[in-house]
Amino acid sequence: MKYLITGAAGFIGFHTANQLLKAGHEVIGLDIINDYYDPKIKYARLALLEAYPGFSFHKMDLVEGEAVKQLVADNKPDRVIHLAAQAGVRYSIENPHAYAQSNLIGFLNILEACRYAKTPHLTYASSSSVYGANTKVPFSSKDGVAHPLSMYAATKIANEMMAHSYSSLYQLPTTGLRFFTVYGPWGRPDMALFLFTRAILAGEPINIFNYGKHQRNFTYIDDIVEGVIRTADSIAEPDPNWDASNPAPDSSNAPYRIYNIGSNKTVKLLDYIDTLEKQLGKKAIRNELPLQPGDVPNTWADCSELGEDFDYAPKTTIDTGIARFVEWYRDYYKVA
Burial label for 223, CB within 10 Å (0-12, 13-18, 19+), is buried
Res 89: pLDDT: 76
| Among the listed residues 102, 93, 92, the one whose alpha carbon sits nearest the alpha carbon of residue 125 | 102
Residue 74, pLDDT above cutoff 90:
yes
For the segment 312-329, the average pLDDT, to the nearest whole number, is 96
- The strand pairing partners of 81, in sequence order, are 5, 123
Res 101: pLDDT: 93
Res 205: pLDDT: 96
Residue 297, pLDDT above cutoff 80:
no
Residue 287, pLDDT above cutoff 80:
yes
Residue 95, pLDDT above cutoff 90:
no
Q: What is the pLDDT of residues 264-275, one digit of tens each?
A: 788 999 999 999
Domains of the chain: 2-333 (3.40.50.720)
Residue 223, pLDDT above cutoff 90:
yes
| Among the listed residues 188, 274, 239, the one whose alpha carbon sits nearest the alpha carbon of residue 14 | 188
Res 137: pLDDT: 87
For the segment 6-19, the average pLDDT, to the nearest whole number, is 98
CA distances from 159 to 97, 209, 288, 303, 313 (A): 16, 28, 34, 20, 26
Q: What is the pLDDT of residues 14-33, one digit of tens each?
A: 999 999 999 999 999 999 99
| CA–CA gap between residue 77 and residue 79 (Å, rounded) | 5
Give the torsion sign (CA, 208, 213, 214, 217). Answer: positive
CB distance 11 to 188 below 8 Å: yes
Residue 254: count of CB within 10 angstroms of its CB? 23
Burial label for 322, CB within 10 Å (0-12, 13-18, 19+), is buried
- The strand pairing partners of 139, in sequence order, are 301
| Helix 318-333 with 269-280: angle, nearest 10 deg | 50
DSSP secondary structure of 173-189:
-EEEEEE--EE-TT--T
Res 187: pLDDT: 96
DSSP state of 131: G
| Helix 221-233 with 11-22: angle, nearest 10 deg | 60
| CA–CA gap between residue 149 and residue 292 (Å, rounded) | 11
User: CB neighbours of 167 closer than 8 A, spacing ≥ 6?
Assistant: 173, 174, 236, 252, 254, 255, 256
Query: Is 152 assigned a catalytic role?
Result: yes
| Among the listed residues 331, 146, 21, 174, the one whose alpha carbon sits nearest the alpha carbon of residue 3 | 21
Catalytic option among 91, 99, 124, 152: 152
Res 90: pLDDT: 76
Q: What is the pLDDT of residues 129-144, one digit of tens each?
A: 999 999 888 999 999 9
Residue 207, pLDDT above cutoff 80:
yes
In the chain, the amino acid numbered 294 is G
In the chain, the amino acid numbered 173 is P
